[in-house]
Amino acid sequence: MELSKRQETILEIVKHHGPITGTEIAGQLGLSRAALRPDLAILTMSGMLGARPRVGYYCTGKEPTDFIASLLANISVAEAHSQPIVVKESSSVYDAIVSMFIEDVGSLIVVSEGGYLEGIVSRKDLLKAAMGGQGLNKLPTNVVMTRMPNVIVTYPEESVVRAAEKLINQQVDSLPVVVANKVGNEEKFQVIGRFTKTNITRLFVQLAGK
């Protein structure tokens, strides 16, 4: 967001003299209050200035990107995730590798017979197993996966920003999108999608209007 010279000047005035009324700002600039209205609207809408009735304008210390922040915070994982690609925990590592190539994904979600989340297996896990050598046909996937409760998950209603933070902070490429279900006394995660850095990159391109 590029500010005009006049908007920059208004910000400076408010920074030094705030809280200050619109009429007082106009006075300092030798302009009418009405002439300043569009500039003040832009500065308050972008979040850089706050306004309090009978008190005046004050600096919030926020940057114009906070405008983007509030927009991004309103996009949920449900609007951006992909279909989950799953394997049964009893599948062999060999079959998992074949699935990964066929589906062309970076990680597979490992589920129990009932379809609940048990773990996640990455290309790195599979490469490590393949380097280990023998018997990939007989090695079950659940031996090489990251297993619950160590799997980082996201939820359809979570914001994409929070999910992106998890991807960065936990250094993973993909999060299972889950819904919690009570099964007997246990809470189990039903897998309804996967959320990846590719989803974020796609969203990024969309936001840029391409």
> Of 167, 177, 178, 191, which one interacts with a second copy (CB under 8 A)?
167
Q: Judge contact between 45 and 158, C-beta under 8 A.
A: no
Q: Is residue 171 a contact point for a second copy (CB under 8 A)?
A: yes
Strands (E), 113-185: 117-122, 146-147, 174-183
Name the burial class of residue 177, with classes exposed (0-12), middle (13-18) and buried (19+) by CB atoms within 10 angstroms of its CB. buried
- Compute the distance between CA of residue 81 and CA of residue 143 in angstroms, rounded to an integer: 27
> Of 24, 95, 158, 173, which one interacts with a second copy (CB under 8 A)?
173
Q: Is residue 102 a contact point for a second copy (CB under 8 A)?
A: no
Decide whether 150 or 181 has the Cβ nearer to a second copy: 150
* Contacting a second copy within 23-62 (CB under 8 A): 34, 37-42, 45
Question: Which residues contact residue 50 at a Cβ distance below 8 angstroms, ignoring those fewer than 6 apart?
Answer: 44, 57, 58, 59, 60
- Compute the distance between CA of residue 178 and CA of residue 111 in angstroms, rounded to an integer: 12
Taking residues 184 to 203 in sequence order and writing x for each that binds a second copy by CB under 8 A, - otherwise, the string is: ------------xxx-xxxx
Site residues (vs a second copy, CB under 8 A): 1, 34, 37-42, 45, 63, 65-69, 71-73, 97, 100-101, 104, 106, 123-124, 126-128, 130-131, 136, 160-161, 164-165, 167-168, 171, 173, 196-198, 200-205, 207-210
